[in-house]
Amino acid sequence: MPRFILVRHGESVWNMERRIQGNLDPELSPRGRRQTDLLVLHLKAHLPDAVAAIYASPLRRAAQTAEQIAATYTLPVIQEPDLREMSLGQWEGMTVAEIQAASPGRYEQWLEDPLTFPAPGGEDLRAFERRVVGALQRMQAAHPGADLIVVSHGGVIKTLLCFALGLDVRFLFRLKQDNTAVSQVELDGRLRRVLLLNDTCHLNAGGGGVAARDVLTDAAEVADPAF
């Protein structure tokens, strides 16, 4: 069955600061570039000739990650606007600490139930779900039976995983998708299966001598969704 290889972008400069990104457009950090280098080696070893197309969010952190991957496969990156991250309204550009100080408890409510407690001024969760699932279905229709790499964002990939698992999207924060982590789903008509979830073995392996601290995000950072 055709597979979607779902890749979250490398660490951005705002991921380093635990700053909410949403639809804003920071670039990859130096560590994010190193993470992506290791990801490229991993993908090429395990998917040498099996990829028909590479799709990406147009936001820089995803587009830069996708360009590094595409150079290895000699495929163009197809930008899909509906793969961009969820808009988080007034929180975009703020750090998690700033949000917690300004509205105690509000950020935690959002993590627990983003449908009931959306980010102020942000995108409706159901509309976001329709947007990203619609993008997935269009990609599948454009490449029937083919394996595709999709480079996007934490919120997008978690939403697609909820769709594949038959989970309500309000539970997306119960899933994890680290920087450059790989998840895989199979879609064949009504049959949907998750084959791989949040695989970061390319980072843990260290790429043949690269120190883990040079590529792994700190525990305090990955504890948050880091949109």
Task: Name the token pair of 156.
Answer: 């997008």
Average pLDDT over residues 160-189: 96
Domain-wise residue ranges, the chain:
3-222
What pLDDT is attached to residue 1?
83
Exposed, middle or buried: residue 4 (CB in 10 Å: 0-12, 13-18, 19+)? buried
Average pLDDT over residues 193-220: 70
What is d(CA 143, CA 185) in angstroms, rounded to the nearest whole number?
A: 15
What pLDDT is attached to residue 210?
44
**DSSP output for 107-168:** HHHHHH-TTTSPPTT---HHHHHHHHHHHHHHHHHHSTT-EEEEEE-HHHHHHHHHHHHT--
What pLDDT is attached to residue 222?
41
Task: Give the length of the chain.
Answer: 227
Per-residue pLDDT of 34-64, as tens digits, reads 999 999 999 999 887 789 999 999 999 999 9
The residues annotated with a catalytic role in the active site are: 9, 153
Per-residue pLDDT of 91-120, as tens digits, reads 999 999 999 999 999 999 999 999 999 999
Per-residue pLDDT of 120-136, as tens digits, reads 999 999 999 999 999 99
Task: Name the token pair of 116.
Answer: 């009931």
- Fold assignment, 3-222: Rossmann fold (3.40.50)
Q: Which of 173, 182, 147, 153 has its CA nearest to residue 80?
A: 153
What pLDDT is attached to residue 121?
98
